[in-house]
Structure 1
Amino acid sequence: MRVRRLSKTGALAATACLVLASCGGGSDSDEESSSGPQTLTIWHYYTADGQIAALERQNQLFAESNPDVEFEVVQIPFEQLPTRLLSTATTQDGPDIVLDNVVVDFPALAGSGVLTDLTPYWEEYADADQVSDSSVWRLDDEVYNVMSYTNLLGLYYNADILDELGIEPPETVDEFQAALEQVADDGQYTPLTMSGAPTVEGAWMYFPLLLGEGVDYCNLDDATLEDALSRLQSWSEDGILPREAANWDQTDAWTQFASGDAAFGINGNWNLGAAADLPFELGSTQYPAGSDGSRVFPGGEGLGIGAFADDPDLAWQYIEDAWLSPEAGLINFEDSGQIPTRADVASQPEVADDELVAPFVEAASNTASWPLNEETAQMQTVIGQVGSSVISGESDAAEAAERGVTGVEDAKEEGGGGCA
Structure 2
Amino acid sequence: MYSLRARRSAALLITAGLAFGLSACTISDGGSGGGDSADDQTLTFWSYYQGTQADWLQAQADQFEKDNPGVTVDIVETVGDQQDQKLLASVATGDTPDLFINNIVVDFPTLVAGGVTADLTEYWDGFADKDQFAESAAWSSDDKVYNLLPFTNLIGLYYNQDILTEVGIDGPPATLDELQADLEVVKADGRYDGIALSGAPTVEGAWLFAPELLGLGIDYCSFDGPEVDAAFERAETWAKAGYTPQATATWDQNDSWQQFATGQYAFGINGNWQLGNAEEATFEWGTAQYPAPAGGTSVVYPGGEGFGIGANSDKKDLAWKFLEEAVLTPEAGESIFTTAGSIPVRADVAELPAIKDNVAVQPFVAAAQTSGSWPKNENTANIQKALGQAVSSVISGQSSAADAGAAAVADIKAALEDGGGGCR
TM-score by length of 2: 0.77
Q: Which residue pairs with 1:17 in the alignment? A: none
Please list the CA deviations of residues 250-273 of structure 1 after superposition, one character each: whole Å capped at 9, or x if unmatched: 344334333444321112334334
Amino acid at match of 2:306: G
Q: SS where residue 324 of structure 2 aligns?
A: helix
Aligned equivalents of 1:85 and 1:13: distance in 2? 31
Amino acid at match of 1:272: L
Q: Which residue pairs with 1:109 in the alignment? A: 111
Q: Which residue pairs with 1:43 in the alignment? A: 48
Aligned equivalents of 1:135 and 1:375: distance in 2? 21
Q: Which residue pairs with 2:406 in the alignment? A: 402
Amino acid at match of 2:154: L
2:348 aligned residue (344, 348, 355):
344
Residue 207 of structure 2 contacts residue 301 of structure 2 at CA under 8 Å; is this kept in 1? no
Moved more, 165-174 or 353-362: 353-362
Residue 299 of structure 2 contacts residue 371 of structure 2 at CA under 8 Å; is this kept in 1? yes
Residue 65 of structure 2 contacts residue 73 of structure 2 at CA under 8 Å; is this kept in 1? yes
Residue 48 of structure 2 contacts residue 77 of structure 2 at CA under 8 Å; is this kept in 1? yes
Q: Which residue pairs with 1:60 in the alignment? A: 59
Q: CA deviation at 1:190?
A: 3.8
Q: CA deviation at 1:237?
A: 4.1
Q: Which residue pairs with 2:260 in the alignment? A: 257
Given the superposition, is the C-alpha separation of residues 261 and 100 from structure 1 closer, same or farther in structure 2, using an over 3 Å criterion? farther
2:308 is aligned with 1:304: yes
Aligned equivalents of 2:42 and 2:214: distance in 1? 50
Q: CA deviation at 1:189?
A: 3.8
1:181-220 pair list within 5 angstroms: 181-213=184-216, 215-220=218-223
Please list the CA deviations of residues 344-389 of structure 1 after superposition, one character each: whole Å capped at 9, or x if unmatched: 3233243344322333344445444444555444332211121122
Q: SS where residue 263 of structure 1 aligns?
A: strand
Moved more, 336-345 or 165-174: 336-345
Aligned equivalents of 1:134 and 1:243: distance in 2? 35
Q: Which residue pairs with 1:293 in the alignment? A: 296
Given the superposition, is the C-alpha separation of residues 336 and 34 from structure 1 closer, same or farther in structure 2, using an over 3 Å criterion? closer
Amino acid at match of 1:303: F
Aligned equivalents of 1:341 and 1:189: distance in 2? 36
Q: SS where residue 196 of structure 1 aligns?
A: coil
Moved more, 306-315 or 159-168: 306-315
Q: CA deviation at 1:283?
A: 0.7
Q: CA RMSD in A?
A: 3.8
Please list the CA deviations of residues 246-303 of structure 1 after superposition, one character each: whole Å capped at 9, or x if unmatched: 3333344334333444321112334334443433332111222222233323413321
Q: SS where residue 282 of structure 2 aligns?
A: coil
Q: CA deviation at 1:54?
A: 4.3
1:225-236 pair list within 5 angstroms: 225-236=228-239
Aligned equivalents of 2:125 and 2:380: distance in 1? 29
Amino acid at match of 1:154: G
Given the superposition, is the C-alpha separation of residues 252 and 70 from structure 1 closer, same or farther in structure 2, using an over 3 Å criterion? farther
Aligned equivalents of 1:310 and 1:151: distance in 2? 32
Given the superposition, is the C-alpha separation of residues 310 and 359 from structure 1 closer, same or farther in structure 2, using an over 3 Å criterion? same
Q: SS where residue 221 of structure 1 aligns?
A: coil
Identity of aligned residues (%): 47
Residue 150 of structure 2 contacts residue 328 of structure 2 at CA under 8 Å; is this kept in 1? yes
Aligned equivalents of 2:35 and 2:117: distance in 1? 20
2:169 is aligned with 1:160: no
Residue 157 of structure 2 contacts residue 269 of structure 2 at CA under 8 Å; is this kept in 1? yes
Aligned equivalents of 1:185 and 1:83: distance in 2? 53
Aligned equivalents of 1:240 and 1:268: distance in 2? 20
Aligned equivalents of 2:208 and 2:83: distance in 1? 21
Q: Which residue pairs with 1:387 in the alignment? A: 391
Aligned equivalents of 1:98 and 1:247: distance in 2? 34
2:271 is aligned with 1:268: yes
Given the superposition, is the C-alpha separation of residues 213 and 126 from structure 1 closer, same or farther in structure 2, using an over 3 Å criterion? closer
Q: Which residue pairs with 1:360 in the alignment? A: 364
Unaligned runs of 5+ in 2: 1-12, 21-28, 67-71
TM-score by length of 1: 0.78
Aligned equivalents of 2:76 and 2:263: distance in 1? 36
Q: SS where residue 389 of structure 2 aligns?
A: helix
2:16 aligned residue (10, 18, 24):
10
Given the superposition, is the C-alpha separation of residues 409 and 10 from structure 1 closer, same or farther in structure 2, using an over 3 Å criterion? same
Moved more, 241-250 or 279-288: 241-250
Amino acid at match of 2:55: E
Q: Which residue pairs with 1:4 in the alignment? A: none
Residue 345 of structure 2 contacts residue 369 of structure 2 at CA under 8 Å; is this kept in 1? no
Given the superposition, is the C-alpha separation of residues 281 and 72 from structure 1 closer, same or farther in structure 2, using an over 3 Å criterion? farther
Q: Which residue pairs with 2:7 in the alignment? A: none
Unaligned runs of 5+ in 1: 1-6, 15-22, 47-51
Given the superposition, is the C-alpha separation of residues 396 and 115 from structure 1 closer, same or farther in structure 2, using an over 3 Å criterion? same
Aligned equivalents of 1:82 and 1:103: distance in 2? 12
Aligned equivalents of 1:253 and 1:13: distance in 2? 31
Aligned equivalents of 1:248 and 1:90: distance in 2? 41
Q: Which residue pairs with 2:6 in the alignment? A: none
1:240 aligned residue (213, 230, 243):
243
Given the superposition, is the C-alpha separation of residues 28 and 309 from structure 1 closer, same or farther in structure 2, using an over 3 Å criterion? closer
Aligned equivalents of 1:284 and 1:391: distance in 2? 24
Moved more, 266-275 or 326-335: 266-275
Aligned equivalents of 2:80 and 2:44: distance in 1? 18
- Residue-pair matches, total: 398
Q: SS where residue 100 of structure 1 aligns?
A: strand
